[in-house]
């Protein structure tokens, strides 16, 4: 009957929840272990000026390789780290490692102008974020302009009145601020007015519709136009073919990254890629 049915539904629901939270707890446990056992590492994806083809930077992206070789994507474990607070330690490590790697590139004669590091909203609630960033820069003898922070609209959404002054302070020091995944999540055009930004990144979901007769393609066009009106450089994510590159360039989009240039890769491969990019003549504009 209906009553039993409803109760069964509740039991079913409760069971699903407990399975999910147990899965969550297990994943967190494995992640803690992975962090301490050095199963986490960074890969880098070049960011390229679409007109001059100069490499303007590289985005650091976190990877987790299990001892059995299985690669776990960040979209599955970063949310778990964010919910548990582990993201603070993890984020601090990412910052240190990214700075160490940029320094190492410079010492090898590779003049990568800067590294872009993703920083989640949760990290902005920690009072020592700025101090940690300064420590990482100092320790590896980098200046603030060598670093760009990629924040998402969830950072912009933090009602905390400290975020805006903190971003201003960072930007005043010379640290770059990019608004990632623009147009997804809880976007508000007011953020573009309120926040001190150096760049907006168009989400690849829009970029990949270019050339199609879709709303997504129109949205990509409008974001580029918006950037031009606001004199805010735009970087397109997820450029996978030459046609998209050319189209974006003609539309006035300054920069891009994507599989067409290179997938994210370990530091040693970035060195090889850099040399090839500059020796093959591809870096010269046509
Ligand atoms: P994101 O910052 O928007 O990074 C861009 C994602 O697009 C990366 O996925 C990258 O591998 C992927 N991508 C780049 N080019 C292409 C392309 O041409 N085609 C396609 N299909 N994909 C492309 P990934 O590495 O899996 O990272 C996913 C998300 O995880 C990132 O999105 C970022 O939000 C988060 N993440 C990664 N590393 C960190 C980190 O160190 N800290 C924090 N807080 N978040 C991170
Ligand atoms: Mg990013
Ligand atoms: Mg993005
Ligand atoms: Mg993202």
227 is written with which tokens?
């950037």
Token look-up 């001059």 returns 52
Residues in a beta bridge with 41 = 63
Query: Quick check: 36 pLDDT over 70?
Result: yes
Candidates 33, 150, 151, 104; CA nearest to 267 is 104
| pLDDT at residue 13, rounded to an integer | 53
Based on the number of CB atoms within 10 Å of its own CB, is 232 exposed (0-12), middle (13-18) or buried (19 or more)? Answer: middle
β-strand 115-118 against 55-65: which pairing, if any?
parallel
φ, ψ for residue 232 (rounded to 5)? -120, 115
d(CA 51, ligand 2 centre) in Å: 22
**Cα 147 from Cα 201, distance rounded (Å):** 16
Q: What is the average pLDDT value for the chain, to the nearest integer?
A: 91
Query: Quick check: 283 pLDDT over 90?
Result: no
The tens digit of pLDDT for each residue in 154-212 reads 887 776 677 889 999 999 999 999 999 998 877 778 888 888 999 999 999 999 999 99
Based on the number of CB atoms within 10 Å of its own CB, is 11 exposed (0-12), middle (13-18) or buried (19 or more)? Answer: exposed
**Cα 114 from Cα 103, distance rounded (Å):** 10
φ/ψ region of 72 (left if φ > 0, alpha if ψ in -120 to 50, else beta) reads beta
Is residue 24 very low, low, confident or very high in pLDDT (cuts 50, 70, 90)? confident
* Residues within 6 Å of ligand 1 by CB: 45, 61-62, 73-75, 78, 94, 118-120, 150, 180-181, 204, 237-240, 257-259, 264
Contact, 210 vs 236, CB < 8 A? no
- Could you tell me how far CA 243 lies from the centroid of its own chain? 24
**Cα 122 from Cα 181, distance rounded (Å):** 17
Least confident of 99-108, 161-170, 200-209, 268-277: 161-170
Residue of 34, 40, 61 to mutate, ligand 1, most atoms within 8 A of C-beta: 61
Residues in the chain: 286
**Cα 178 from Cα 201, distance rounded (Å):** 7
Cα dihedral 186/190/193/197 (nearest 10): 0
Is residue 153 very low, low, confident or very high in pLDDT (cuts 50, 70, 90)? confident
Q: Which residues contact 252 (CB under 8 A, 6 or more apart)?
A: 224, 225, 228
d(CA 76, ligand 4 centre) in Å: 12
Mean pLDDT, to the nearest integer, of 39-62? 97
- Grouping H, G, I as helix, E, B as strand and the rest as coil, residue 240 is coil
Closest ligand 1 atom, residue 43 Cα = 25
Note residues around ion ligand 3 (Cβ under 5 angstroms): 180-181, 237
Mean pLDDT, to the nearest integer, of 130-136? 97
């Amino acid at each position: 009957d209906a009553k039993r049915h409803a109760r069964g539904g509740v039991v079913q629901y409760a069971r699903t929840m407990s399975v999910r939270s147990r899965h969550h707890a297990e994943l967190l446990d494995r992640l803690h272990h992975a962090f301490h056992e050095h199963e986490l590492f960074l890969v880098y994806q070049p960011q390229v000026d679409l007109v001059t083809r100069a490499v303007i930077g590289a985005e650091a992206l976190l990877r987790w390789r299990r001892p059995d070789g299985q690669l776990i994507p960040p979209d599955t474990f970063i949310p778990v780290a964010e919910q548990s607070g582990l993201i603070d330690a993890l984020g601090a490590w990412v910052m240190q490692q990214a700075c160490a790697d940029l320094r190492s590139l410079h010492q090898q004669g590779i003049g990568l102008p800067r590294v872009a590091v993703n920083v989640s909203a949760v990290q902005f609630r920690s009072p020592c974020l700025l101090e940690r960033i300064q420590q990482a820069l100092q320790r590896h003898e980098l200046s603030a302009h060598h670093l760009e922070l990629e924040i998402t609209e969830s950072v912009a959404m933090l009602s905390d009145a400290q975020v805006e002054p903190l971003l201003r302070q960072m930007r005043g020091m010379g640290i770059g601020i990019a608004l990632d995944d623009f147009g997804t999540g809880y976007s508000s055009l007011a953020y573009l007015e309120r926040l001190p930004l150096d760049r907006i990144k168009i989400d690849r979901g829009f970029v990949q519709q270019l050339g199609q007769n879709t709303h997504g393609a129109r949205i990509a066009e409008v974001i580029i136009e918006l950037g031009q009106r606001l004199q805010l450089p735009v970087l397109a994510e997820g450029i996978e073919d030459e046609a998209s590159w050319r189209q974006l360039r003609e539309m006035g989009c300054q920069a891009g990254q994507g599989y067409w240039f290179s997938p994210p890769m370990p530091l040693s491969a970035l060195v090889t890629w850099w040399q090839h990019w500059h020796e093959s003549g591809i870096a010269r504009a046509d």
